[in-house]
Amino acid sequence: MACGLKGGVKHYEYVLFEAIALSKVAAKFELTPGDTPDAAVNKLHVNVHDLSADQIAGIADWIWKGRMFERRLDDQMASLIAAGITSGRIDRSRVTEKVINRLRSDRLIPRA
């Protein structure tokens, strides 16, 4: 997940779930482009709006039953970000110097 690019490389947790979870609770949503340095992630972005407490609980229940959790610690995030930059998937010009310096100091990307 590319959300570690703004302030630094940190521990992030996130949940991926099928869009059917939103349909099951009649949630209003729209596909909108994300705004991260990772173009592939941007294509997966969805805005969900006007949710009731019952709808939020329904989505949480769907996610919990699916158990599709992944955890990435800061070293893992650094490796993933470096791989994205190296492959061209992540736009290096949109990555902060703080993150670039961390990746360089860890020898995950070459010094320019």
Whether the model pTM is above 0.85: no
pLDDT band of 2, cuts 50, 70, 90: very low
pLDDT at 15 over 80: no
Distances in whole angstroms, Cα of residue 18 to Cα of each of 12, 13, 70:
20, 17, 15
Helices (H), the chain: 20-24, 39-42, 53-66, 74-87, 97-105
**Do 72 and 80 form a contact (C-beta atoms < 8 A)?**
yes
Say how far residue 19 (Cα) sits from the centre of its chain.
16
58 or 20: which leads in pLDDT: 58
pLDDT at 26: 85
